[in-house]
């Protein structure tokens, strides 16, 4: 969704999800090519009996907010999605580097037996890659949340 880049908008949107009983699986926000417009990519999942109807309701509630410029509901198949993950792992440095090579990821920092690795991929592949590092001691993880654009020529506005 595109929103006015104003004070308090993020809390309004997050609050709307929580008070309508919706779970936010991931939320990524950043300014767009226009500095007064922010773009949010929100991933939500719903295991209720009527997910489509619930989803339509949350879409309408989001659209109704004064600061909302555009909301578009997209399924996984319609988007190009990426997530950036940084992990800090400890273990045999050569072995870690082999796994990095195999998974096509990047070491961005090294301190003795501790490596910080950057992973950028689709959310699904990110999870697969992370499992490749299971054999090492995982010290810390940070994920940006998913960001998406529509496939092809389509844009939000």
Partner 1 sequence: MIAAECLVRALCDEGVTDIFGYPGAAIDPFLECLSTSDIAFTLMRSEGAAGLAANGYARTSHTIGVTAVTSGAGALNLLPAIACAYADSIPIVAITGQVRSFDVGTDAFQEADITGSAEPFVKYSYLIKEASDIPRIVKEAFYLASAGRQGPVLIDIPVDILQTECEYKPTSEIKLRSYNPTSEGNVFQIKKAAEIIAAAKRPLIIAGGGIHSSGAVKALADFTDFHNIPLVTTMMGLGIKNSLGLNIGMIGIHGNAHANAAVKEADTLILLGARAGERSIPDPTVTNGKEVIHVDIDPAEIGKNIIPTIPIVSDCRNFIEKLFSILSDKLFDKPWITAEKRIPQTPLDIYFDRLSELMKPDTIIAADVGNNQIAASKITAGRFLTSGGMGTMGYALPAAIGASVADRSRDIICIAGDGGFQMSFAELATIREKNLPIKIIIVNNNALGMVKDSAAAASQTALMNGFAVDMSKGNPDFALLAGCYSLTSETVTDFNTESIQKLLSADEAYLINLVI
Q: Minimum distance between the CB of residue 105 and partner 1, rounded to whole angstroms? A: 39
Binding pattern to partner 1, positions 58-77, x when CB under 8 A? --xx-xx-xxxx--------
57 counts as binding partner 1 under rule CB under 8 A: yes
101 counts as binding partner 1 under rule CB under 8 A: no
Nearer of residues 61 and 144 to partner 1, judged by Cβ: 61
Among 129, 146, 144, which residue's Cα sits nearest to residue 81? Answer: 146
b/e map 57-93, b = 16+ CB within 10 Å: ebeebbeebeebbebeeeeeeebebbbbbbbbbebee
81 counts as binding partner 1 under rule CB under 8 A: no
Q: Minimum distance between the CB of residue 147 and partner 1, rounded to whole angstroms? A: 21
- Which of 30, 31, 48, 53 is in the footprint of partner 1 by CB under 8 A? 53
Q: Minimum distance between the CB of residue 43 and partner 1, rounded to whole angstroms? A: 21
Q: Minimum distance between the CB of residue 26 and partner 1, rounded to whole angstroms? A: 22
15 counts as binding partner 1 under rule CB under 8 A: yes
Site for partner 1, rule CB under 8 A: 3-4, 7-8, 11-12, 15, 19, 53, 56-57, 60-61, 63-64, 66-69
């Amino acid at each position: 969704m595109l929103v006015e880049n104003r004070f308090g908008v993020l809390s309004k949107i997050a609050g709307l999800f929580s008070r309508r009983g919706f779970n936010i699986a991931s939320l990524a926000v950043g300014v767009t090519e226009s500095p007064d417009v922010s773009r949010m990519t929100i991933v939500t999942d719903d295991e209720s009996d009527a997910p489509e109807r619930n989803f339509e309701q949350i879409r309408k509630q989001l659209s109704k907010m004064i600061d909302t410029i555009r909301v578009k509901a997209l399924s996984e198949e319609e988007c190009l999605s990426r997530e950036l993950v940084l992990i800090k792992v400890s273990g045999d440095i050569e072995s870690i580097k082999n796994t990095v090579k195999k998974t096509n990821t990047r070491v961005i920092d090294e301190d003795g037996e501790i490596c910080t690795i950057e992973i950028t991929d689709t959310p699904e592949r990110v999870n697969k890659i992370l499992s490749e590092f299971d054999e090492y001691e995982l010290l810390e993880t940070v994920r940006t949340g998913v960001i998406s654009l529509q496939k092809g020529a389509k844009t939000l506005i």
